[in-house]
Amino acid sequence: MQGVFLDKASLDYGDLDFSGLDKAVSEMRYFPTTAPEQVRERLAGAAVAISNKVMLDAAALEASPDLKLICVAATGTNNVDLAAATRLGITVCNCQAYGTPSVVQHVFSLMLALMTRLPDYHQAVREGRWQQAQQFCFLDYPIRELAGKTLGIVGYGELGRGVAHIAKAFGMTVLVAQRPGHHEQQDGRLPLTALLPQIDVLTLHCPLTPETRGLIGAWELALMKRDALLINAARGGIVDEAALAKALRSGALGGAGVDVLTVEPPAQGNPLLEPIPNLIVTPHCAWGSQEARQRLLAQLAENIEGYLRGQPLRVVQ
C-alpha cells in the first residue's frame, strides 16, 4: 500500500523518529511541502494521504481514485472537504490530545511571564538598569501572584480541563464559560457576559467556528477588569485583534499572551505585531514540543494500522 505525507516539514525538524509510520505503510513518500498545484500529482497512486495543512478539496479527492484514507496530522480538519470524502468513501481520521501537556505548559508560561513581568525584568537587566540600582533588588514593575486569582476558561475540552487542573494547583479559582453558541443553561457554567467581569485571567481553548469567530471583541474586553490578562492559544480569529491592541494601549486591559493570529504566518503584518505594552506574541508554537510531535506521529501510525485491521481510530468522517 502506498502512502504520501504532503507536508512533513510542518511537523519535523530533524528530531523525530518516523520508523513507526514507515512500518504502518509499505511505501511512504515524504514531501517537505506541497503547493496547491502539486496535490493531485502527489496523491496519484496513494491509498493513504497524510496532511497537516495542505488543502484536500473535492477536486483533488475526485482525481484520486486510489485514495482510501486521509490522516490529518492535527486535530482540526478544515483542510479536508469532509462532504466529498464521505461521498467518495474515503475515511478521514485526525489526531487528538497529543499536544495537551505542551499547550498547557505554554499557557502557563505566558500567564506567569505576564504576572511576573518577566520580559520587562529581563530587558532591564540587559539594559544595565539593575546594575545601576541603589538596592540589592530591582522592583520597578508590579509583580502579581496567580494564587487567589480567578481564571475563566472558554472551551472546556481536553485542553481546557488540563489548564484547569494546573490552575487549581496554583491556588486559582476556576470558572468555566457556557459553550459558545449554546444559550441553554449548562450546569456549572456561566454565560460569557457574566463570567468576564469576575475573572483575573481569561484563557481560550475553543475551536474557531461561526459561533466563536470574533467572540472576544471590544465589548467583551470592556467587561473585563482593567488589570485582567487574556491568553489565546486556540485560534487567532476568536479575538478581534485590533480591539485587543487598542485595549492594551489604552490600559483597559492588563496584558495578553497570544500564540495564534488570524493569518499565519503574518506575512502582511498584524495589529498585534506592533510595539504594544504587556503583550507577548509567540509563533503558534504552544503545541510543538518534541514529545507532542512524536505522540502525533504515533497516532498517525495507529490510525493507519487501525484502518488496515478494519477498526479505524479517531474517525472524523
Catalytic residue annotation: 235, 264, 284
Grid coordinates belonging to 224? 473585563
Contact, 42 vs 30, CB < 8 A? no
DSSP output for 48-87: EEEESS--B-HHHHHT-TT--EEEESSS--TTB-HHHHHH
Strand-by-strand arrangement of the 279-281 sheet: 189-190, 173-177, 150-154, 201-204, 229-232, 255-258, 279-281
Q: Quick one: which of 107, 153, 110, 146 has its CA closest to 279?
A: 110
Amino acid in position 116: T
Looking at the chain, which runs of residues are DSSP E strands? 2-5, 27-30, 48-51, 69-72, 91-93, 150-154, 173-177, 189-190, 201-204, 229-232, 255-258, 279-281
Contact, 213 vs 236, CB < 8 A? no
